[in-house]
Amino acid sequence: MKKPVHLTVLLLLLAAIATACRSNAVPETTEEPVSDIKTVNVGFSQLGAESDWRSAHTDSILTALSKENGFNLTYKNGQQKQANQVTALRMFIQQDVDYIVLAPETETGWDFVLKEAKDADIPVIIVDRRVDVEDQSLYSCWVGSDFELEGKKMCAWINEYSKINNIAPEDLHIVHIQGTLGSTAQIGRTRGLNNAVQEYGWDLLAQENGEFTETRGKEVMASFLNQFDNINVVYCENDNEAIGAIEAIEATGRKVGSDIKNGEIMVVSFDGINEEAMQYLQEGKISCIGECNPLHGPRVLDLINTLEEGKEPEKYNYVPETLFSSVPEIKSVTVDGETYSVTIK
């Protein structure tokens, strides 16, 4: 009579074990699929945060190279010091990132660290300012503006203005607030103005570094106003400098505007990203702004995707740009045989 009892107990134990196993098993339908999307590791060295343009430029790249787009991005702010950027690049190389994005503070001094990146087989994408290196293969490609063309278009606009208003070239008395010396934007925009001065015969009174900042722009303009009493055109290499220059001009009781025949001082600048500067444009305090497009992020994203596909991207990639003006009479300018439209604000 004991055997049936033992058999019953054994069957009950086996049933309990089977039930427990079934309760601990994870149903096949709840398993999460393993993603086959590669995370791309990128190191981004930005030169600093000296202007509204730079902030917009940084935001564009951070947005494009986001986690949602499949990137693991390490961002370093160089604080306007090339040594900090070189240190950042070497850190990226040690981390064995897949790509390096570099917005260089100045053009020179990059040969050694870029060679280190090349030896580590890490492609480097240069953005905004260029690098002056003997071996062009040290970087894969570049994204940015044609800064000399920006300067040429601005000078063509000034020339059109003088012709429309019957102002003799020698009666344009220009002061020039430059950007950070040695930067690609400064080199290109300065070259554009210097060549136009020679071509048209304008009176260039002085040039001084404004460092692309509002504070320095105000200081430089105040110094110019103390030195010269016939200034009627201020050529600023970015909007922040222009805002500072306008503050200095108005502090002396002078008026900014395009009516230089009646004593106004005409201010022109570059960028077109600063809200205050665009408001000044609409008010006529700034007469013309040469757009400098900061939205490089989508271009960088496309270039990395091209490299990921094993393809070779274009070496130089220019972003589209226009001129903004508060003077409605000038609707276009011609540079080197090509006509560019002017957007009236």
What is the per-residue pLDDT for 168? Answer: 97
More confident residue, 338 or 15: 338
What is the per-residue pLDDT for 38? Answer: 81
Does residue 6 surpass a pLDDT of 90?
A: no
* DSSP-derived pairing of the beta strands 288-291 and 323-325: antiparallel
The rounded distance, in Å, linking the Cα atoms of 164 and 241 is: 27
Looking at the chain, the whole-number percentage of residues with pLDDT higher than 90 is 86
Does residue 17 surpass a pLDDT of 90?
A: no
Tell me the CATH architecture of domain 40-144+294-318.
Answer: 3-Layer(aba) Sandwich (3.40)
Q: What is the pLDDT of residues 61-111, one digit of tens each?
A: 999 999 999 999 999 999 999 999 999 999 999 999 999 999 999 999 999
As a whole number, the mean pLDDT across the chain is: 91
What is the per-residue pLDDT for 21? Answer: 40
Task: For 158-287, list the strands marked E by DSSP.
Answer: 173-178, 203-209, 233-236, 266-271
Residue range 163-179: mean pLDDT, rounded: 97
The rounded distance, in Å, linking the Cα atoms of 97 and 91 is: 9
By the 8 A CB rule, do 123 and 165 touch? no
The rounded distance, in Å, linking the Cα atoms of 341 and 329 is: 12
Residue range 210-229: mean pLDDT, rounded: 97
What is the per-residue pLDDT for 241? Answer: 98
* DSSP-derived pairing of the beta strands 266-271 and 203-209: unpaired
Does residue 20 surpass a pLDDT of 60?
A: no
Q: Regarding the domain delimited by 147-292+322-344, which CATH topology (the fold level of the hierarchy) does it fall under?
A: Rossmann fold (3.40.50)
More confident residue, 31 or 149: 149
Does residue 12 surpass a pLDDT of 50?
A: no
pLDDT band at 254 (very low <50, low <70, confident <90, very high): very high
* CA pseudo-torsion sign 132, 137, 139, 140: positive
Q: Output the CA torsion 192→155→152→289 (10° steps).
A: 110
Q: Any idea where the domains of the chain sit in the sequence? A: 40-144+294-318, 147-292+322-344
What is the per-residue pLDDT for 217? Answer: 98
Does residue 16 surpass a pLDDT of 60?
A: no
The rounded distance, in Å, linking the Cα atoms of 212 and 50 is: 7
